[in-house]
Chain A
Amino acid sequence: MTDTMTISKEKRQARTVSTIIYIFLVLLAVIYIVPLLWVLITSLKDDSTLMLSPWAMPAKLEWGNYEFAWTKGHLGTAMLNSLIVCSITLVVSMLFGSMAAFAIAKLRWKLSKLSLYYFLIGMMIPIHTILIPLFVQFSGWKMSNTLIGIIIPYITFSLPITIYIMVGFFEGIPNELFEAACIDGCSVYKMFGTVAIPLAKTGFMVTGLMSFVSNWNELLLAMVFISDETKKTLPVSLTKFVGPYHTNYCQMFAAIMIAIVPTIIAYVAFANQIVEGLTAGAVKG
């Protein structure tokens, strides 16, 4: 009798604790979601109602705000530019990175460990340090106001982490597989293409995600290198459009929405894979 009573008491206590935990987690989630909802709602209002009644829902949906930000704020062009820059960077950095990683992990040469360390130093170098010399160099080559001028640094900054993670994945592939391929008459290039790459798919997903997310959001380098309105990337156009000198708040909120909605949609669709992938990358980095 006393035994069952203590058990039920413990259970009750556990239940109160977990209720408190859940209340806390929900409150925290509110802090995460409410600012985003606020931007969404405000972006559909017009300025006069925003100033009069902050709590009111928009009476009439002002899609014109979005249209203005998309065309006059150049956010449409900017999104296209970002997409071009990030896609090219993604493909090239994964190709170059996995090639180098294959050479380091599987090919046999004396300096392979040393070259890995050389690449790893790159992870500690902040982009700010090389900003000025790169800017001078690229202006000299007439590359400072072109998309290719930011694609090249982006590729380079994606390389160290890509190489590091891919080396891990390639080293995990047993050598017997390559020996078998060798006996079947494969060349080194074919081994890379038909054995190594298909077996390291997870690695490509992880590195691709990391490079895409960080380049999509990169502001400083793009802001310094590009001054031409038609070549700006999304964070730069947004930063220039939204500011103390633009006075229509609702249009600026619409611009913020345009900038974050694609990421949010992709995130909601693949949240688990994205979170796991980025964490795996950060753990290894």
Chain B
Amino acid sequence: MDKLMRNKKAIILFIAPALMLFTAVLFVPVCKAIYYSFCNYKLPGHAKFFGFEDWKWLKNYKQLLTKDQTMRMAFRNSMFFMVFSIVTQLVSGLFLAALLTNIKKGRNLFKNIYYLPCVLSSAALGLLWMFVFTPRLGINQMLASLGAWGGDCTLGPQWLFNTEGYIILPIWVVSFVALWQYVGQSMMLYMAQISGISSDIYEASYIDGCSRRQSFFYITLPLIKPMVATAMSLNAIGSLKFFDLIYNMIPEGFLSHKADVIATHLYTSAFKFRKLGYGSAIGVILLILCLIMTVLINKFVKTENYDM
């Protein structure tokens, strides 16, 4: 048996396809992206290393972090998305999970309805919500037909085109749409964890005179803490990588990059303006942000595993 399981040929045969594919298509390109980010690389043309003398090799990053106005807005919007989605998903996901575990009838039905958008294409849903918030259709048209703004729908709020304020209105709108789409996932994660808590603990607490609210704060919350860390890092990374919804809800070039996020800035720099080196630098920054967030969340939301 032992000899059979140590068969070198079998081991190589089993691991090789995945290992080779993974290395060639994921690991090597990451290294290449880091290299490109130190290069002057514009299409048509080849990657040319900036050279080592007086920090020239950091030129893309210097440009990106100090001079690029769009990057500043994109970074601000991405950070806003991240904080917004971490906070709102945590609160509303927990709230929904607590409600759904406490009702008797229809739990499955509600759960499945709230989860539905998670499996739908965010490209399609982005377009759908784009129409909902278009001035002449959707919300404004319906409110106008009920008598708002004297029946003229174009006088209503410009949901996706208003560029006033520090965080502009379109970003708020997209944030809420993202919450609508993905809250089902957080809810399911918390529900899975809550249903794993033994009912003995709750019974014991009721005998001790605990109210339902107390039992939620003193039993449920501490016991689902590991899942909070998981859900938070999923949300953080997901919102940093955010592309589909914003690309489809806000037509390119309409707001002169005020509604860009890091991912859309990467896309336009690299594939519209053909600055591949510059785009790679944005990609590397995104990668670093993802790693930092994962480490931070897992460090600060300490996971103690209780016996349940």
B185 within 8 A of A: yes
Q: Is the CB of A96 within 8 A of B247?
A: no
B189 within 8 A of A: yes
Q: Is the CB of A133 within 8 A of B32?
A: yes
Which residues of A252-282 have CB atoms within 8 Å of chain B's CB atoms?
252-253, 256, 259-260, 263-264, 267, 271-272, 274-275, 278-280, 282
Q: Is the CB of A275 within 8 A of B15?
A: no
Q: Is the CB of A263 within 8 A of B5?
A: no
Which A residues lie at the B interface, using CB under 8 A?
18, 21-22, 24-25, 28-29, 31-33, 35-36, 38-39, 50-51, 53-55, 96-97, 99-100, 102-104, 106-109, 115, 118-119, 122, 124-137, 152-153, 155-157, 159-160, 163, 178-179, 182, 187-189, 191-192, 213, 216-217, 219-220, 224, 234-235, 238-239, 242-244, 249, 252-253, 256, 259-260, 263-264, 267, 271-272, 274-275, 278-280, 282-283, 285
Q: Which residues of A contact B230 (CB under 8 A)?
A: 282-283
At the interface, is chain B mostly helix, strand, loop or mixed? helix
Q: Is the CB of B120 within 8 A of A263?
A: yes
Q: Which residues of B contact A24 (CB under 8 A)?
A: 99
Which residues of B68-110 have CB atoms within 8 Å of chain A's CB atoms?
96, 99-100, 102-103, 106, 108, 110
Report the Cα distance A134→B18, complex, angstroms.
Answer: 18
Interface size class of B (residues with CB under 8 A): 35 or more
Q: Which residues of A contact B8 (CB under 8 A)?
A: 109
Stretch from B128-136, B166-174, B214-222 forming part of the interface with A: B128-136
**The one of B21, B114, B287 that contacts A29, using a Cβ cutoff of 8 Å:** B114
Given A32-B114, A107-B6, A275-B115, also A128-B266 (CB < 8 A): yes
Given A107-B6, A256-B128, also A125-B121 (CB < 8 A): no
Quick one: which of A96, A130, A224, A244 has the most chain B CB within 10 A? Answer: A130
B207 within 8 A of A: no
Report the Cα distance A253→B106, complex, angstroms.
Answer: 31
**The one of B29, B142, B234, B276 that contacts A282, using a Cβ cutoff of 8 Å:** B234
At the interface, is chain A mostly helix, strand, loop or mixed? helix
Report the Cα distance A229→B132, complex, angstroms.
Answer: 28
Q: Is the CB of A130 within 8 A of B29?
A: yes
Report the Cα distance A260→B124, complex, angstroms.
Answer: 7
Q: Is the CB of B25 within 8 A of A127?
A: no
- With A38-B132, A156-B22 known, 12 other A-B pairs at CB within 8 A are A29-B110, A39-B128, A125-B30, A126-B283, A129-B33, A157-B26, A179-B1, A220-B244, A259-B121, A260-B124, A264-B116, A279-B189
Q: Is the CB of B15 within 8 A of A219?
A: no
Q: Is the CB of A99 within 8 A of B294?
A: no
B228 within 8 A of A: no
Q: Which residues of A contact B244 (CB under 8 A)?
A: 217, 219-220, 235
B178 within 8 A of A: no
Q: Is the CB of B30 within 8 A of A124?
A: no
Q: Is the CB of A264 within 8 A of B120?
A: yes
Report the Cα distance A130→B279, complex, angstroms.
Answer: 10
Minimum CB distance partner of A213 in chain B: B119
Which residues of B130-181 have CB atoms within 8 Å of chain A's CB atoms?
131-132, 136-138, 141-142, 145, 180
Given A24-B99, A54-B145, A188-B7, also A153-B25 (CB < 8 A): yes
**The one of A35, A179, A219, A280 that contacts B243, using a Cβ cutoff of 8 Å:** A219
Q: Is the CB of A126 within 8 A of B237?
A: yes
Which B residues lie at the A interface, using CB under 8 A?
1-2, 4-8, 10-11, 13-15, 17-19, 21-22, 25-30, 32-33, 36, 96, 99-100, 102-103, 106, 108, 110-125, 127-129, 131-132, 136-138, 141-142, 145, 180, 185, 188-189, 192-193, 227, 230, 234, 237, 240-241, 243-244, 247-248, 251, 254, 263, 266-267, 270-271, 276, 279-280, 282-284, 286-287, 290-291, 294
Report the Cα distance A188→B121, complex, angstroms.
Answer: 41
Q: Is the CB of A107 within 8 A of B99?
A: no
Minimum CB distance partner of A122 in chain B: B26
Given A156-B25, A238-B124, A279-B189, also A28-B14 (CB < 8 A): no
Q: Which residues of A contact B13 (CB under 8 A)?
A: 99
Minimum CB distance partner of A245 in chain B: B251
Report the Cα distance A159→B20, complex, angstroms.
Answer: 11
Given A32-B117, A253-B131, also A55-B14 (CB < 8 A): no
User: B178 to chain A: closest CB distance in Å?
Assistant: 14
User: B114 to chain A: closest CB distance in Å?
Assistant: 6
Q: Which residues of B contact A97 (CB under 8 A)?
A: 18
